[in-house]
């Protein structure tokens, strides 16, 4: 390989991360949106800053304030509303925090908040209030996280989450992947990430080589809410990941005004399959302050998924789940037939 090519590829994704739009004025101007949205956008930006990388922004339709990708990142005045039942730690993360950046809620798997950084800021995110900076598992060469995983033989899977773990550099990730060789009880490595979707240039040959060097099989759970989020660059990144034997799954959040209709959800599943990704979870919105306007009623959510069941093969129907504090797993939502719960 020519020595220079590595540097250039590194520069591409890092530059794309760094160049993300981070000011509400720039977002509105670039997308040719009405300037009267600006005062409220500025106020919401003060609550949770705007962040939109260009490769993602380019998939939006200029001039359309209801574009389903824009809705996910556009700061709105309605985020200031204090709505009963919508809090700052809706999923009990603070209680599950057992070591620096280590969330242990479910048997056998542990989730590391590897970094506080995200490539994109999603307005509905339940981590918009999470103390990212303090809960950073990659600090000190992952020392606390690795020590926790090493001493708990009940674990079989480690999930790198965040923030977004793929905002970390390859060297940082390599420290963790290589440390797994010493942790013989760990059988699976999983990433929860939106980076291959919003900055697909992150999927470099160096990252692929690193994933292939993992001593255990790797799963990657992407986060895609709408079919339009998948363009050719995303499809190519997914094809490279699949060729590196990474299992690709998707988790989406059911969001009012983004994907809360059966046409959007069918199109999403079909586009995921065409990209080598299987739907995994469809999450009910976590009840986080500032995101109440995205909420979809549970009855309607269940009916939407029933429509998906009639229109798609079972393997393209995501599991509709809700996160509950202190529950031993994500809680599935199912149809009630004559008052009796039906499983699946």
Residues that bind ligand PLP in the complex, under the rule CB under 6 A:
96, 103, 105-106, 109, 111, 159, 329-330
Q: Is residue 285 near ligand SF4 by the rule CB under 6 A?
A: no
Q: Report d(CA 43, CA 170) in Å as an integer.
A: 36
DSSP class of 266: H
Beta strands 157-161 and 319-322, pairing class:
unpaired
| Residue 145 contact, options ligand PLP, ligand SF4, none, Cβ 5-8 Å cut-off depending on partner type | none
CB 279 within 8 A of CB 316: yes
Q: Is residue 104 near ligand SF4 by the rule CB under 6 A?
A: no
Q: Which is nearer to ligand PLP, 59 or 128 (CB)?
A: 128
| Residue 125 contact, options ligand SF4, ligand PLP, none, Cβ 5-8 Å cut-off depending on partner type | ligand SF4
Q: Which is nearer to ligand PLP, 228 or 334 (CB)?
A: 334
CA angle 244, 247, 252 (to 5 degrees): 130
**Per-residue string for binding with ligand SF4, 191-230, x by CB under 6 A?**
---x----------------------------x-------
Q: Is residue 93 near ligand SF4 by the rule CB under 6 A?
A: no
Q: Is residue 125 near ligand SF4 by the rule CB under 6 A?
A: yes
331 three-class SS? strand
Q: Which is nearer to ligand PLP, 27 or 158 (CB)?
A: 158
Q: Which two tokens stand for residue 20?
A: 């993300």
Q: Which residues contact 115 (CB under 8 A, 6 or more apart)?
A: 132, 136, 137, 138, 162, 163, 164, 165, 167, 168
| Residue 121 contact, options ligand SF4, ligand PLP, none, Cβ 5-8 Å cut-off depending on partner type | ligand SF4
Q: What is the sign, positive or negative, of the torsion defined by CA atoms of 133, 77, 64, 249?
A: positive
Q: Report d(CA 318, CA 310) in Å as an integer.
A: 13
18 three-class SS? helix
**Element housing 147 (H / E):** helix 139-151
Q: Is residue 120 near ligand SF4 by the rule CB under 6 A?
A: yes
Q: Which of 71, 121, 148, 226 binds ligand SF4 (CB under 6 A)?
A: 121
* Binding to ligand SF4, residues 149-168 (CB under 6 A): 162, 164
Binding site for ligand SF4 (CB under 6 A): 118, 120-122, 125, 127, 162, 164, 194, 223
């Amino acid at each position: 390989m020519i020595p220079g090519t590595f540097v250039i590829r590194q520069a591409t994704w890092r530059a794309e991360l760094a160049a993300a739009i981070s000011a509400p004025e720039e977002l509105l101007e670039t997308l040719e949106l009405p300037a009267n949205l600006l005062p409220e956008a500025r106020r919401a930006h003060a609550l949770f800053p705007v962040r939109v990388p260009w490769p993602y922004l380019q998939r939006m339709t200029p001039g359309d304030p209801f574009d389903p990708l824009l809705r996910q990142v556009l700061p709105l005045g309605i985020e200031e509303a204090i709505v009963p039942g919508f809090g700052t730690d809706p999923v009990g993360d603070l209680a599950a925090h057992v070591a620096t950046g280590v969330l242990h809620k479910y048997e056998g798997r542990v989730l590391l908040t590897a970094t506080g950084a995200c490539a994109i800021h999603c307005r509905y995110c339940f981590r918009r209030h999470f103390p990212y900076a303090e809960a950073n598992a990659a600090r000190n060469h992952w020392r606390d996280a690795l020590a926790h995983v090493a001493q708990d033989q009940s674990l079989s899977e480690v999930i790198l989450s965040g923030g977004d773990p793929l905002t970390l550099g390859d060297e940082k990730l390599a420290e963790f992947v290589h440390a797994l060789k010493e942790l013989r009880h760990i059988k699976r490595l999983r990433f929860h990430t939106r980076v291959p979707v919003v900055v697909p240039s992150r999927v470099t040959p160096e990252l692929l080589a690193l994933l292939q060097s993992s001593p255990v099989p790797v799963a990657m759970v992407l986060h895609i809410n709408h079919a339009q989020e998948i363009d050719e660059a995303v499809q190519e990144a997914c094809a490279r990941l699949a060729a590196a034997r990474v299992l690709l799954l998707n988790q989406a959040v059911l969001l009012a005004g983004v994907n809360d209709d059966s046409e959007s959800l069918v199109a999403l599943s079909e586009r995921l399959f065409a990209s080598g990704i299987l739907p995994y979870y469809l999450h009910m919105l976590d009840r986080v302050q500032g995101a109440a306007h995205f909420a979809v009623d549970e009855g309607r959510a269940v009916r939407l998924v029933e429509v998906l069941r009639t229109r798609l093969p079972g393997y393209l129907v995501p599991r509709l789940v809700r996160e509950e504090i202190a529950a031993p797993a994500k809680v599935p939502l199912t149809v009630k037939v004559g008052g009796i719960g039906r499983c699946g």
